Structure formats: C-alpha cells, structure tokens
Structure 1
Amino acid sequence: MNRLQSLLIALGLCASAAAHAVPIAGQGNWQTQLHARDLQGHAVALDSAAAVFFYDSLLDVTWLRQAGPAQTWSQAQAWADGLTVGGYSDWRLPKVVDTGLPGCARVTYTGGDCGYNVPLEAGGQYSELAYLFHATLGNQSAYSTTGTFRGFAGQGTTWGLANTGGFDGLRTDLINWSASPVVGSANYAWSYHLGLGNQMLSERGVQGQALALRNGDVLSPVPEPSALLMMSVGVVGLVLRRRIQR
C-alpha cells in the first residue's frame, strides 16, 4: 500500500463525500476572476441560484457549475463530449500540463507533476484542476512544499476542499478526471484529488468525478438601452402606419 492510499484510509475519504465545504469570501481569486452566467448566458451574481456557468477571465474558460457523476475515465470523456448545455456542445475535461519531469516516479511536494503543490502553469499552459483548487479557490494541499503534513484536524478547513466558491457537487472521496492520458500507458490517465490537493496517475477503470469546461465565455450581450428604444419606436411606428392605411 502506498503513502497516498494509507492517507486516504486514515482520513476516511474512501467512505465519506465530505461535502461540508462552502464558498469562502476572500479566499482565492474566485470573487474577482469568476463571472457567473445563467442558462441563457446572461450575467448573474456568483451566489445566484440561476448560475449555471462560471467564466474564468484569466484562463478564458467556462466551467459548468455542477460537477458530473462518478464514472470511469472513458465514460467521463464520453460524458463531456456528449454534453449540450446552454446551446454549447464543445465541452471537455480539464487539461494537465506535463512539465517534462518523469511521470510518477516519486511523489513530490513541490515542482513535480505527480504529488502535492504541482505547478499551475508551464509555458503559458495551465493545469486547470490544480489552478482551480489552489489559485481560484485558494485551497491548500494536505502537505506543505517542505513535505510537512498539515494535520488531520485541519481537513476541510485549513487544507483540502475548504472553499468551493459556488461550485455544486464537488466530492472529496473521489479523484477528478483530467482529459490527459499518461504518455506511453494505455491503462492510466492524469487525475486530481480535491480532498488532498494531489495530482496523480489513476487507473482508467476506477470511478472518478468529472468537471466539464469549454474555451471562451458564454456571455450573451444585452441590447443597449438606445437599441431597445429604437426597436420600440420602430414597432410603434409600424402599428400606427397599419392603422392609418386601414
């Protein structure tokens, strides 16, 4: 049994969804960088019940607010590919940036692809799940960059998925699938564990959650007041003209 499996069992993550996390004001950049949209693409408040999409203005991607069901990697890929929400059908799973370091030869606490506190960006590309966890939501991994375990008492408060930032259905008992297969392996794909803040390789046949996103914004422009006024005047004029003709 490896260190990650031991930690999962010790934390009780295999038996609990630990869905106690809430939006935390002032933690991470979600209140300034995320912009909520309703199903029609109209801008709404981040805490609005009508919010269906969260647009990240730095990454220029739109997340679905609701996380997907538990499924295998291939099922998650098909689920994202088959989604049509708000008239958009170009949804995908998040990407992982391969920094060029060897896969999961060892778990690292900083700077490595596999482990804790992984690089959020490399060469202008982002590891989107890691960025969401650390930067957008301001959460911390179970281990510090020096390899110090932050303590069981802090799970879900000082580390782990303490802040959800308004996302719904995020689970800490499952990995989250990425779109990135492991190069040279037909059996593994990259994943991210929101309960631990850990990026890892996972067997494609295990159950994991999926968050869908697409490139760009879904914002629908609202007509300017002047345009609405001219439209109204035009309609009134047309009605009057028909009455005069009669």
Structure 2
Amino acid sequence: MKKKYLILSMVLLMCGFTVSSQAALQDRGGGLIYDEYLDITWLADANYAVTSGYDDDGLMTWSDAMEWADTLEYAGYPDWRLPDITIPCEGIVGCTVSSEFGHLFYVELGGTPGQPISGDVSYFIGIQGGAYWMQRTFPPNPEYAVDFDFSRGVPGVNPKTHEAYVWAVRDGDSAPPVVPEPISSILFVTGGVALAGKRYFKRKKTGN
C-alpha cells in the first residue's frame, strides 16, 4: 500500500500537479466555484444532496447518483453531471491524475496521497471523507463504475449497486442568476427623484 502511494506521489510530481503552478479556482458567488484550468464549475456544497433535502445521508447507488445529477437544477442551470475522467487512462495511478476529482484533490485542494480531505476546505463545504461517484462506467465490466475516494485520494471501482457520495459539476463558467430589482423599490426611487425635481422647479419659479 505504501509503495502504491509513493508511486502515485512521484507521478503527480512528474505531471506538475502542484497547487502553486495550476491552482485556478474562482468563487463566482451563489455556491458556484469555477475551475478555469479545466473550464468546469463545481457546486460549492460537496454534500448538496443532503443540504437540499434530496437524500438523508447523501449516499446513493450509481444509477440514483446519475439521476440526481441529471435532474438537478441549481442557480438556473439544468445541465449538471457527475465528475468524469478527462482523458483515457489505465490503472489506478493513471485514472487519478487524469480525472476531474484527481485535479481537484491534488492541484486545487493540495491533497496528499493516502491522506483524507474532508469538511470545509478552500471554497468548498461539506466534503465527505469517503468515495464519490464518477459518471464513468468501468469498461471491462459494465456492472461496475468508477469512483474517487477522498479519504485516500485515489479512484476505485465498485458495483453500481454500491452506495457512494455525489458531487455535481457542469461544463463551462457559471454565474449566479441576476436578481431583478423589486418593482416597489424601483417605484420608490423613481418617485423620490420625481418629487425632488418637482420641488426644485417650484422653488426656482418662486425665487426661493
């Protein structure tokens, strides 16, 4: 086990996975965190399924996780999904450094192989110290899917009937919806301006 984490550490260093070189998170407000390096937007709440009341403990089978992400609408955006592997990979090391979760864990959050990341970290809240589903089915066996374990910083493969946490992401930059000014406030402001103007011209006319 220690040898595996040592190899992983070496690969991460060779790939330039350091926080100082590529960290690119931007807080867009409204619970939206943009990663300009990967050009994706994360939910700031890593356990939103619980926060929103959708699920009691945030743990779901892969099919339920896919449905949750597919039907999620947040900040006016309906196109959320589960994180994915960014380029084709082979083996646990390759899938670690080429996944959106791997980039987040090691580059943006400064994770260490074999060490957990959980709780409120950086721009995020509610990170669970366990496995999160990815949307990728395991090619050798379609009954299995890929996940990423935040207690160790490594991907894994589990039956789709297994339960893991869920974290939503969407492609591209995102901004929270603009809240329109209440009509009452607009009328108050415009009414005040009109009244002030009327008084000004009245004083000017009377010479006061």
TM-score, normalised via structure 2 length = 0.65
What is the CA deviation profile of residues 158-214 of structure 1, one whole-angstrom value per residue up to 9, with x for unaligned ones?
Answer: x32178223111111x31100111114221111100110111111111110111011
The alignment status of 1:35 with 2:26, answered yes or no, reads: yes
Instruction: Give the unaligned 5+ runs of structure 2.
Output: 2-17, 48-57, 179-189, 199-208
The alignment status of 1:85 with 2:63, answered yes or no, reads: no
**Partners of 1:29 and 1:136 within 8 A in 2:** no
- Name the structure 2 match of 1:75: 64
The alignment status of 1:133 with 2:105, answered yes or no, reads: yes
- Name the structure 2 match of 1:199: 155
**Aligned equivalents of 1:32, 1:130: Cα separation in 2:** 13
**Partners of 1:96 and 1:190 within 8 A in 2:** no
Instruction: Give the unaligned 5+ runs of structure 1.
Output: 4-26, 40-51, 121-126, 143-158, 223-234
What is the CA deviation profile of residues 24-81 of structure 1, one whole-angstrom value per residue up to 9, with x for unaligned ones?
Answer: xxx9369962111233xxxxxxxxxxxx111111111110011231111111101111
> What is the aligned-residue identity percentage?
29
Higher helix proportion (structure 1 or 2): 2
**Aligned equivalents of 1:82, 1:63: Cα separation in 2:** 16
Cα-Cα RMSD: 3.3
**Aligned equivalents of 2:89, 2:177: Cα separation in 1:** 41
Alignment of 1:111-126 (within 5 A): 112-113=94-95, 118-120=96-98
Match of 1:187 among 123, 143, 151: 143
**Aligned equivalents of 1:29, 1:83: Cα separation in 2:** 33
The Cα of 1:218 is off from its aligned counterpart by 1.7
Task: Give the structure with higher Rg (CA).
Answer: 2
Alignment coverage as a number of residue pairs: 161
Large movers: runs of 4+ above 4 Å:
29-32
**Aligned equivalents of 1:29, 1:215: Cα separation in 2:** 24
Q: SS at 1:202's partner residue?
A: strand
**Partners of 1:192 and 1:198 within 8 A in 2:** yes
